[in-house]
Amino acid sequence: MGFSEDLNVMIDEAPINAAAVTSEQGSPYPEPFASRATASGFQRLADHFGLTQFGVNLVTLESGAQSGLRHWHNLEDEFLFVLEGEIVLRRNAREHLLGPGMCVGFRAGDTDAHLVANDGPRPARYLMIGGRVAGDVSFYPDDDLAWFETESGTIAVHKDGRPY
């Protein structure tokens, strides 16, 4: 096990079972948006190993939950791979039902905003993989919200630039 002063965390480089990574709850969004992002739990797998160039989250969506708000990124690619259950991918003008083994990618700069929801009766689990790019902005076309990714964290602002 090594110590990373940059991350201020203990980093274990040995292989693990993903279940060993603490599941987090809640949403980073400010209200009134946080209560709409109802992901049941997510595990920051890449963070466990101190990875800094991309993130890997194991997300669990209970029935009726959605991952977040419909959004797109200007600089960050995202990739989603379904492990269990079914989720609905909602884009600008269409929806797709995704089941185990299905995947989809979201290119940086593609303004076809997306979110995923579990409209089915059972929990669903998927991997979400994305870049960690300083200067990335997440745009939310349905909401008065934008996220700016900085070297020291994220900043939530109104579309006119006022911070939350």
Beta carbons of 11 and 46 less than 8 angstroms apart: no
Looking at the domain assignment, is residue 88 inside a domain? Answer: yes
Looking at the domain assignment, is residue 62 inside a domain? Answer: yes
Task: Determine the pLDDT at residue 35.
Answer: 86
- 10-residue averages of pLDDT along the chain (164 residues): 52 85 89 84 94 95 93 97 98 96 98 96 97 93 93 89 91
Q: What DSSP designation does 34 have? A: G
Looking at the domain assignment, is residue 54 inside a domain? Answer: yes
Number of structural domains in the chain: 1
Spatial distance between the Cα atoms of 154 and 106, rounded to a whole number of angstroms: 20
Looking at the domain assignment, is residue 155 inside a domain? Answer: no
Looking at the domain assignment, is residue 157 inside a domain? Answer: no
Looking at the domain assignment, is residue 156 inside a domain? Answer: no
Looking at the domain assignment, is residue 127 inside a domain? Answer: yes
User: What letters, b where the CB count within 10 A reaches 16 and e where it falls short, cover 50-73?
Assistant: beeeebbbbbbbeeebbbbbbbbb
pTM of the model: 0.87
Looking at the domain assignment, is residue 43 inside a domain? Answer: yes
Q: Which residues pair with 60 in a beta bridge?
A: 41, 125
Q: What is the CATH number of the domain that holds 101?
A: 2.60.120.10
Domain that holds residue 90: 2-11+25-134
